[in-house]
Amino acid sequence: MGNMATGLVVGGTLELAFVGLVWVGAALPPDATVGTIAATILVIETGIEPLAALGIAWTVAVLVTHSNVLFAMVGISYAMPIADRYAAEGNTSGLTLVHFLAGAGWGLGRAVPTAIFTFLGMPVITSVINYVPELVWNAIKAGGVVLGAVGIAGLLNTLWRPRLWPLYVLGFAFAAFLGVSFIGLAVIAFALSAALVYGTKRREG
């Protein structure tokens, strides 16, 4: 849509909410890709703040996940008997074709909702947004902040190690009280991590 700066801002904001999602077995997390696409289109077209688009991004992400499952189930249910027949016949070319056609179901599960939202849903959503009171938008933005915190909490729950908690606290202190940028925090974290690894290897060696 020609607005790379806004796309980067929206993507970075939504990453906070989606960063803790993990695909475990058959449990599918919300589709962060399509949710981010929808939110980016919404922000660029309407001019709302990225935090306000978080709720819509989550809604679209959950709906698309169910759409993916539906498309995949329908595609696989038709493809499996054909694949079994080709396997019994030793038809490798047919198996390859069925494999790619069945996999296209996952793509359609994302492409169809994205197209509907982009070309049909945006005019309706834009007209509704114009009538939403400022108080409601403030509440939505507050919810967006909470979603970002939940995403970070989910990531920490996955990566948490008791011996690393001083580093988490130190990074928070640098960002909150000293105003260190994310790039600065990354450099400091790299230096501390390298020092810890080097010290551990020296003790073990």
Question: What single-letter DSSP state applies at residue 27?
Answer: B
DSSP 118-180: IIIIHHHHHHHHTTS-HHHHHHHHHHHHHHHHHHHHHHHHHH--GGGHHHHHHHHHHHHHS--
| pLDDT on residue 82 | 87
Which of 55-69, 104-118, 142-156 is the least confident region? 142-156
Q: Which of 19-23, 113-117, 125-129 has maximum average pLDDT?
A: 113-117
| pLDDT on residue 27 | 61
Task: Name the pLDDT band for 202 (thresholds 50, 70, 90).
Answer: confident
Written as six digits, the tokens of 163 are: 């011996």
| pLDDT on residue 171 | 79
Mean pLDDT for the stretch of residues 53-81:
75
Per-residue model confidence as pLDDT tens digits over 15-61: 777 766 666 555 667 777 888 888 888 787 777 777 777 777 777 77
| pLDDT on residue 21 | 65
Q: Which of 133-142, 145-154, 164-173 has maximum average pLDDT?
A: 164-173
Written as six digits, the tokens of 160 are: 């948490």
Q: Indicate if the pLDDT at residue 141 is higher than 80.
A: no
| pLDDT on residue 155 | 67
φ, ψ dihedrals at 49, nearest 5°: -75, 150
Q: Indicate if the pLDDT at residue 81 is higher than 80.
A: yes
**Residues 53, 57, 61, CA angle at the centre, nearest 5°?**
175
122: left (phi over 0), alpha (psi -120 to 50) or beta: alpha
| Residue environment code for 150-168, b if the CB has 16+ CB neighbours within 10 A, otherwise e | ebeebbeeeeeeeeeeeee
CA separation for the pair 1, 96 (Å, rounded): 36
Average pLDDT, the chain: 75
| pLDDT on residue 97 | 87
| pLDDT on residue 1 | 64
Q: Indicate if the pLDDT at residue 94 is higher than 80.
A: yes
Task: Name the pLDDT band for 125 (thresholds 50, 70, 90).
Answer: low
φ, ψ dihedrals at 3, nearest 5°: -125, 75
Residue tagged 């507050």 (tokens): 142
Per-residue model confidence as pLDDT tens digits over 173-191: 887 888 888 788 888 888 8
Helix then strand then coil, in percent of the chain rounded to 5, is 85, 0, 15
